[in-house]
Amino acid sequence: MMKKTICILFFAFFSVVAASAADYPVERVFVSTDREAYIAGDVVWCSLFCVDGEGHLSSTNAVAYLELVSTDGSAAQAKIGLLGGRGSGVFRIPVSVPTGVYRLVAYTSSNTNEQGTPWLAGSRILTIFNTLSTERVKDGVQIIGEQEYGSLSREAAEECGSLVFNSSARVQKGSSHGVLIQNNGPEADFSLSVYHEDGIVPVRQENSISSFLGSLAGSPDPVFVGDRPVEYDGEIISAQVNGKIKEDSEYSYTTLSSAGSPSNLYIGVNHGKNVRFMTNNIYGDREIVCEVSNLDQESGSITIEDPFIYPSAGSIPKLPISKILYQDLSARKVALRSTAALKVDTLSTFLRYRQDLLLESLPIRRYHLDDYTRFPTVREVLVEIIPMLSLHREGKGKYSLRLMVTDGTDSYRSQVGNLLVMMDGVVISDLNILLAFDAMLLEDVDLYQQAFICGKIAFSGIVNFVTKKNYVTAIPFPANVQVVDFKGVSYPVAYYGTAPSGDGEDSRQLLYWDPAAKIEAGGQKRINLTAPDYPGRFRAVAEGVAADGTPIHHEWTFEVE
C-alpha cells in the first residue's frame, strides 16, 4: 500500500512539474553587436536572435532584457523589443564604467523562471576601456609588455553560411564604394557591421552563432521554478500598492500613462496589492505616471518594480593592457567626441516595431487654442471654447467633466460622465490639478468623442490637454501618484552608412550597421559605404541564421588609403 501511495504521489508531482514547465517556452537569445571592443561612452548597437529549443526563431516573448555585467556587477541595462524572435536597439556605455571585460547578457521573462542560468550561452564578451579614469574591474586586468601585446591577434569565428561578398580591397579616404552580397543558400537573416579595426585586440569570444545553435540540441530541458508571466504582447510592468482605498469609494482601478504619448495608456490588473500592466511595449526613455484611483493620498503609495535580474557575470577572462594601446585609445576618444559633434546618431534609420494604436482609430477633434481668444483659466477655456465639455461640482471639493453627445441629426443631446481626462497623455483623476493649471501654457485640447474600453474599464470619451512643453511632468502630484523616470524599450534602428555633414573631420569608427539584413534564397543585396577621412583597416562581419536553421558567419577586410 505504501509503495502504491508513493507511486501515486510521484506521478502527481511529475504531472504538476510538467504542467508548469509547459506554461513557459524554451528560449535562448543570441546577442550580436556592431563591434567587440569599446571605450566608455560609446554607443553599442545590438541585434538579438531569440530562438526556441530547436533553433527556430521564437515569436513567444515580445521583449528581451539586456544587461552589461562584470565581476563588479551590472553596469548598464536596456530593453529590446522582439518581433518574430528578432530585435535590435542601442544603449550607451556609461562613462563611469571601469576598464575591464564585460558580458552582455540577453534574456526573456521565461528565462527568469529557469533554475540556473543556462541562457548565458548566447551572451557576448565585450572589451571596454575607460579613457577618462584609471579605475579597473576588480582583479579583471592584466598588464603586459608592448612586445607581448603586439603578438596578440583577434580570433575570428568559424566561417559558415552561403553568403559571398564582392568588395574592393582598397578604397580612397572620403570616397564611396559599393559592396555586393550574394546569397547562394536559403533565405538569410543576419546582422551586418562594418567598422574600423585598430590595434586594440578584443578578448576572445566564448561562443559564436555556430556553437550557440549547435549546443541547443544537446542541452537539457530547463527546470522552471519562477512564476513571472510570459510577455506575449509586450513588457508587463509590475507595481506594488501600499495603503488603503477610501471607504466611500465604490471601486478603484490603477492607471499607467506616459508623458507625451496619450496612446501609452494602460489599466492595471490587480492581484491583491500587486498590479500588472499589460503593455504593447513603451518605447524610449520617458516619464511615466502611475496612479491608484481613490487611494488614500496621505498614506497610499505605489512602487514600480525593477524588471532586471542583475545576473552574475560568471567566469570572465582578464583584460590584457599595455602602453602600446595609448595611441589607439586616444584616437577612439577623439572619434567619440567628433561623432557627437557631427550628430552621427541622427543619421540612424528607424526600423519596424510594435506600436500601441489604442487611440489611432478614434475620431479626434482638436482645439488649437491660439486660434481662439486666449483665457487665463481652464474654467474659461471650457466655457468659452469647448461647450461640448461641462464642468460639474460633485461635493467635497471634487469635480468631474461631462461630455455632450448627440445623435446624427443633432436632435437628441445628453451629457455622459466617466470621461477620461489627461494632460500630455497623463491621466488626471483629480480635476483640481487641471483647474489650477495656467491655461496660457496650454497649446491644444484634443477631444475623443467615442466610447472605448481600456482593460476592464469603459470610458465615454477622452479629453487630452496638451501643454506647450510637456509641463505635466512639473506638476506636484499627491503621494498616491508615482512619477518615475522609466527606461522604455529601445527603438530599433539601423545605420546605413550616411556620411555626416559639417566642417569637422569624418572620424567615424562605425561605417555601417544593419541589425536585420535579409536576402532571399538566391538573391543579392548591395550596400554603399563612404570611407572616413583617415586611413586604416576596416572589417565587415555578417552574423545570423538561415531559414533552414543553419548558422551564418562571414567576415572580410579592406584598406582605406
C-alpha cell at 499: 556620411
Task: Specify the pLDDT at position 273.
Answer: 81
What does the pLDDT look like over 182-191, one tens digit per residue?
999 999 999 9
Lowest mean pLDDT among 122-126, 345-349, 488-492, 521-525: 345-349
Same domain, 269 and 346: no
- Average pLDDT of the chain? 89
Same domain, 294 and 340: no
Same domain, 79 and 199: yes
Q: Are 441 and 378 in contact (CB under 8 A)?
A: no
- Among residues 472, 485, 491, the alpha carbon closest in space to that of 262 is found at 472
The strand pairing partners of 48, in sequence order, are 31, 87
C-alpha cell at 441: 501654457
Cβ atoms < 10 Å from Cβ of 523: 13
Same domain, 70 and 196: yes
Is 401 within a domain? no
Same domain, 280 and 329: no
Kindly state the average pLDDT of the residues 476-499: 90
Residue 244, pLDDT above cutoff 80? no
Task: Specify the pLDDT at position 2.
Answer: 40
Residue positions counted in the chain: 561
Task: Specify the pLDDT at position 3.
Answer: 42
Task: Specify the pLDDT at position 385.
Answer: 95
Residue 12, pLDDT above cutoff 80? no
Same domain, 287 and 243: yes
Task: Specify the pLDDT at position 9.
Answer: 36
Q: What's phi and psi for 335, nearest 5 deg?
A: -65, -40
Q: What's phi and psi for 336, nearest 5 deg?
A: -65, -40
Task: Specify the pLDDT at position 13.
Answer: 37
Is 127 within a domain? yes
C-alpha cell at 275: 498590479
**b/e 230-244 (16+ beta carbons within 10 angstroms → b):** bbeebbbbbbebebe
Task: Specify the pLDDT at position 295.
Answer: 74
Task: Specify the pLDDT at position 195.
Answer: 98
Residue 326, pLDDT above cutoff 80? yes
> Largest Cα–Cα distance of the chain, in whole Å?
91
Q: What sign has the CA pseudo-torsion 242, 243, 244, 245?
A: negative
Which three-class secondary structure string do you get for 486-506? ECCEECCEEECCCCCCCCCCC
Tell me the percentage of the chain whose pLDDT exceeds 70. Answer: 92
What does the pLDDT look like over 373-428, one tens digit per residue?
999 999 999 999 998 898 988 877 889 898 887 665 555 566 777 889 999 999 99
Same domain, 185 and 314: yes
Bigger pLDDT: 105 or 274? 105
- Strands 274-278 and 349-350 turn out to be unpaired
Is 249 within a domain? yes
- Among residues 365, 534, 554, the alpha carbon closest in space to that of 448 is found at 365
Same domain, 240 and 176: no
Q: What sign has the CA pseudo-torsion 381, 387, 393, 399?
A: negative
Tell me the percentage of the chain whose pLDDT exceeds 90. Answer: 68
What's the whole-model pTM score? 0.91
Task: Specify the pLDDT at position 298.
Answer: 65
Kindly state the average pLDDT of the residues 28-54: 96
Is 210 within a domain? yes
Same domain, 98 and 243: no
- In one-letter notation, the amino acid at residue 114 is E
Q: Are 558 and 538 in contact (CB under 8 A)?
A: yes
- Among residues 50, 53, 69, the alpha carbon closest in space to that of 61 is found at 50
Band of pLDDT at residue 456, cut at 50, 70 and 90: confident
Is 317 within a domain? yes
Q: Domain count of the chain?
A: 2
Is 427 within a domain? no
Is 477 within a domain? no
Task: Specify the pLDDT at position 106.
Answer: 98
Q: How far apart are CA 195 and CA 537, in angstroms?
A: 9
Same domain, 254 and 115: no
Is 379 within a domain? no
| Residue 252 belongs to domain spanning | 236-304
Same domain, 96 and 243: no
What does the pLDDT look like over 523-561, one tens digit per residue?
999 999 999 999 999 999 999 999 999 999 999 999 999
Same domain, 131 and 53: yes
